[in-house]
Structure formats: C-alpha cells, structure tokens
Amino acid sequence: MKTQLDESQSARRRSIYALLIVISISAMTGRILTVESKTVGPDRNRTPFLSANDRSRWCTIRALVDRGTYEIDYLADGTDDNWKTIDKVRHVGHDGRNHYYSSKPPLLPTLLAGQYWLMRQLTGAEIATEPFYVGRSMLVLTNVMPMLLWLVLVAALAERLGQSDWGRIFVVATASFGTLLTTFAVTLNNHLPAAISVTISIFLALGIWYDDWDRWTWYALTGLCAAFATANELPALSFLVAMGIALLCKSPSKTMVAFVPSAGVVVAAFFLTNYLAHDSWKPAYAHRQDGALRSLLELPRGAFADLDDGRLSAAVRAEIDGIVPSLSSTAKLETRTPGLRWALVDGDQQRRLAFVRKGNRLEIRDWGDWYDYAKSYWLDGKRGVDVGEPSRWVYAFHVLVGHHGLFSLTPVWLLSVAGLWCWFRGPHQRPALATLITGLSIVCFVFYVFLRPEKDRNYGGVSCGFRWMLWLVPLWLLAMIPAADALAGDRRWRAVGLALLALSVLSAAAAGMNPWTHPWLFRYWQEIGWIVY
C-alpha cells in the first residue's frame, strides 16, 4: 500500500515538474521570438542582437562562415551599429597586418559557426540579410533546447536528494522562474553553456559516486562537461579539479583513462581555436600589458613633453633605429596617456612600439596590449560601472546585498545557505557535497571580488546581476533542497519561502527581455540618489 502511495505521489510530482518546465521553456521561446535590439543600423533595420557582448560572438560566427576568417574588421569598423561591438581587440594577424577580433574565447563561437553553416546550407539563409530568422533560430537551438535538458536534470536531482513533495517542487519552480540564468536565454552568452555543463557533470558524478555507475562512458562525459564549463567560465576550473579528485578517489583507472582524456579534448580545442584566431596560445583577455622590454633610456624632463607633442629626440631615434631598422619613414608617435605612455606607429599601422615613462626613464617595449587601439572603449571611453569600483569591500557589499547583490536581487539563495548548514549539521547530512558547493562558491567570490584589479571590478558591466557567478546556480539549487524540505512542514515557513521566491522571480522577470540591462534595484537606487554613476 505504501509503495502504491509513493508511486502516486511521485507521478503527481512529475506532472507538476512537467507543467513548470513547459511553462518556463515556452516563456523563453516566446521572448526569443520577439527579441529585438534597440540599435538601428544605417538601413533602418534591426537585429536580435542585444549588446556589444553577444554581438562580439555573432561577429565571429558571421566572419567564419561568410568569409572563412576570425577577422571582424568589416563588422567592427563602426559603420553599421547593428554589428558594432566594444568587446574586440586589435593585433597583428597571420598576414602580418593589424585586424580586429572578438575578445571572447573563440571555442564557443567556432562551434556555433558550424550550426550557422549547416543552417545556411540547408535553407540558404544568411545572417547578414536575414538576421532575425537565423539569429532567433540559433538562439532556440543553442539556448532553449539545452535549457530544457537542464530543467529536466534539476528535477531529477530534486527527486533524488529531496525528502518532501513541497520541497522538491519548490526547487524546480525556482529553477524554472526564480534565477537570473533564465533571463540569458534571449541572448548568445557563455553563462548558459557553463551552467548546463556543470549540471550534467554533477548529475553524472553523483550517479558514479553513490549509485556505482561504473561505465567508462559516464566518466568520459563527466570530464567533457566539466572541462567545457571551464572553457566558458575560467573559475569553473576549480569545479573541474574537484570532479577529477572525487572520481579519482572512486576509480583511479577510469578517471585516468576516460575522465582526463575527455577533459583534455576540450582543453586542446580551447587553445587550438585560440591559436587559429589570434596566432597566440594565450586568450585575448590575457593580452592587456605591453610586451618585452627592448630598451631603457635616461631622459631629461623636457624630453617627455616633446613626446606628448609627437617629437622624438635624437637619442630616442637612434635607439629606435637599433630596435626596428626598417621602420617606415611615415611612423608617428601617438600619446596614449599624457606624460606617461605613448605608441610609436609606422605608416601602415602594422608595427607598434610602446613608450612607457618610469620616473626619468623611458622604457621602449614591444606592443602587447591588444585593447589599446584608436577609440578603444576600454582605454578611452569607459563610463558608469565599467570604470571600476576602487574599494574591494564596497564591491563585496554590492555583490552580496547591494545593487547587484546575490541575496538582494535573488533572496531565494538564502535558502541555499541554510541548506548547506542542514547538510553539514542536519539529520540528512551530506558533508562532502556541502563542502564542494561551499568551497567553489567562496573560490569564485574571492577570485572576482578580491583578486581582480580595480578596472575589472565592474559588476559584470551592464548586466541584470553579478553574472560571473551564474555557473554556480545548479549547485546552489542542490544546496536549497534540504532547506526547502525543512520549510515544507510548517505553513508559516512555507510562506517565507514563497516570499523569497516571489522577489527572485521579480528580478528575473524585470530583465526578461534583455539581460544586458542594469538590475531594477540599481536603477531604483539611481533614481532616489543613493548611487551615482
């Protein structure tokens, strides 16, 4: 009799899961079918590309398929606002000339270029002339279909780890509507692939660890997904390492023969596509400093003022001739930071040297800062939150409970904190899983808040929340399960849980049509004068 009752309750829960998932997926698809940028190009046309961030990836996809190159010069020149992006770098390409490239890691756009190529072969549609048809179709295939799998896996994990009907349903409802992850379904981004990969990996790892899923395939797929999460979110490297250690303890042979090689495939693809795009093994975002020191000169103070005026002293000219004897006669000096930094550019913009003042000395270095180019937003035009927050403690406050706060925008995560405590101290303890989630969350938080320089402390730019930690959403949902179960037995506590979920759904819904907007709390604080940007 009890078995029949359990089966009946399980079937009822699955029906509710299906209802929640269908509504969520349909809502995502509906938003994609109406997504449209506010930017109007020279021909008065619009596109489904919402920001410089996703346009940067779309530029790479279009350039690869339509022109067979990673160079995006013809799209990034600013003549067409529909393809304009600030997320670009400029450096010497394979042909020895300077070109613009997307600053985003090229692995994901390369994979999606294959999708666009196939669509173009089958339908003849080109993204340049039919951006809505191609763009929206790719968003459904790239975002919505994987999100369907994600929600199904979250429901399966809730079923596995939960103890109550209400608690399990609450967690699935939160995944469906109460996180900022779903807002990014309408745009091309790296956060969804990372979160989905983490979910698949943790789902398989739990099966391997607790249910003895001992097939080599599961180990390989776990490594593949954990590595792909890392390829999309650098701090997820901690997750990859944690999964490797956990499975190594379970089965050293299967981990070394299946997990490690499959993860290595992703790592190799990441660096190979980066080399093909940039002729460098280092990602574009790692090229933000000048190159090797070529010479060091002691100069009188007046010489630096001459540099600001574009004049080179005889001593400097002689030093340059020794470094680059074939420099063009039309080379000119550009002031990048008055009195501190200059760029020597030859006539065709193909070779550059950096002049950097250190006291009364002038360092002459190879040019290495790919973000330093004419009219670069990141050097000459940053504004608002992109300027960077000087105080790490103020930054930490706003990331946690302020205008971009994890707990102020999505207070449902308070239940995840409580759930971790339950797993450490409660009747259904899972200390290993609680330690994993707690450790990864702290590592990611410390990395972005305390280890990044001021210029990178920008809350993720213009975004609906602190998006750099969204890859942890699947783990926080797991941590929520014991707390949701604890609420299930008391009507008043259930009301508290529903209130937290309601506020979280509000934040997600406020950015539902465009995640590349400031959080509603940020905008409200601006209106009442609490913050000024």
- Report pLDDT digits (tens) over 2-58: 576 677 888 899 999 999 999 999 999 999 999 998 765 555 568 899 998 999 999
Q: Are 402 and 465 in contact (CB under 8 A)?
A: no
The whole-angstrom distance between residue 85's C-alpha and the CA centroid of its chain comes to 16
Q: Which two tokens stand for residue 242?
A: 């944690």
Judge whether 40 lies within some domain.
Answer: no
Q: Structural domain tally of the chain?
A: 1
Q: Are 271 and 281 in contact (CB under 8 A)?
A: yes
pLDDT tens-digit map of 452-472: 988 889 999 999 999 999 999
Q: At residue 94, what are phi and psi to the nearest 5 degrees?
A: -65, -25
Q: Are 116 and 127 in contact (CB under 8 A)?
A: yes
Euclidean distance between CA atoms 103 and 288, whole angstroms: 11
- Residue 359 has a CB neighbour count (10 Å cut-off) of 7
Window from 141-145, 245-249, 270-274, 454-458 with minimum mean pLDDT: 454-458
User: Tell me, what's the pLDDT at 485?
Assistant: 95
Euclidean distance between CA atoms 242 and 224, whole angstroms: 14
Judge whether 320 lies within some domain.
Answer: yes
Compute the mean pLDDT over every residue in the chain, rounded to the nearest whole number: 90
Euclidean distance between CA atoms 500 and 166, whole angstroms: 15
User: Tell me, what's the pLDDT at 5?
Assistant: 64
Above 70 in pLDDT, residue 273?
yes
pLDDT tens-digit map of 87-122: 999 888 888 788 999 999 999 999 999 999 999 999
3-class DSSP string for 111-139: HHHHHHHHHHHHHCCCCCCCHHHHHHHHH
In 3D space, the residue among 222, 230, 164, 200 whose CA is nearest the CA of residue 419 turns out to be 164
Judge whether 205 lies within some domain.
Answer: no
Judge whether 23 lies within some domain.
Answer: no
pLDDT tens-digit map of 417-434: 999 999 998 777 899 999
Let me know if 345 is exposed, middle or buried by CB neighbors in 10 A (0-12, 13-18, 19+): buried
Domain that holds residue 354: 293-368
Q: Are 375 and 441 in contact (CB under 8 A)?
A: no
Alpha-carbon distance values, 331 to 91, 305, 308, 322, 348 (Å): 17, 19, 15, 15, 8
User: Tell me, what's the pLDDT at 325?
Assistant: 65
Euclidean distance between CA atoms 167 and 162, whole angstroms: 7
Q: Say which residue the tokens 């907007």 belong to.
A: 517
Judge whether 362 lies within some domain.
Answer: yes
